[in-house]
Amino acid sequence: MEGNILEKAKRIHLIGIGGTGMSGLAQLLLSMDKKVSGSDNNPSRVLEKLKKKGIQVICPQKEENISKDIELVIHSHAILPDNPEYMKAREYNIPLLSYPEAVGCVMEKRKGIAVAGTHGKTTTSSLIVSILKDSGYSPSFLIGGEIRNIGNSEAGNSDLLVVEACEYKRSFLNYKPEIGVVTAIEEDHLDY
């Protein structure tokens, strides 16, 4: 990424923050001392959890949620270019990153372990995180499911980062891991 815009930004807004990946990314960014806000269209338990951690969460998505002091906007794949917050960010010339581009930025200065494949990504990622933690490592991780008593993301104290690498819209091509794990290969996501 161009000089790693995510690393430079202090104030970051996530459109679609209620999704599994986006909520995990929000928590990782918060642990990186970023001022994090986000929006979603529907209230949920996930949003309440984020609020309790100090993340400003707004429902619903509307252009007023985007202010000129925001330095970076991250959006999920579910967000279309006609989304009011997306359009306002463009109007204000605020840089936009997709979720996989942002994860790629987070991985840049870490030893990445990316788990890809048609089936088993969440289970395999969870196992890797559990093994690393039980072995005395303190990995950061961002995965698509909740690990019991841990959650779906955590900022560890080591330079290890475990991510679930989704193949949808070739998302995993944004990641440059040191280790890649492929669980299974089948025809999938041929519809985009």
Catalytic residues: 121-122, 164
Burial of 10 (0-12, 13-18, 19+ CB in 10 A): exposed
- Strands across the sheet with 56-58, in order? 56-58, 35-39, 11-15, 72-75, 96-98
Q: At a CB cut-off of 8 Å and minimum separation 6, what does 156 contact?
A: 137, 138, 139, 140, 141
Quick one: how many helices (H) and strands (E) in the chain?
A: 6, 10
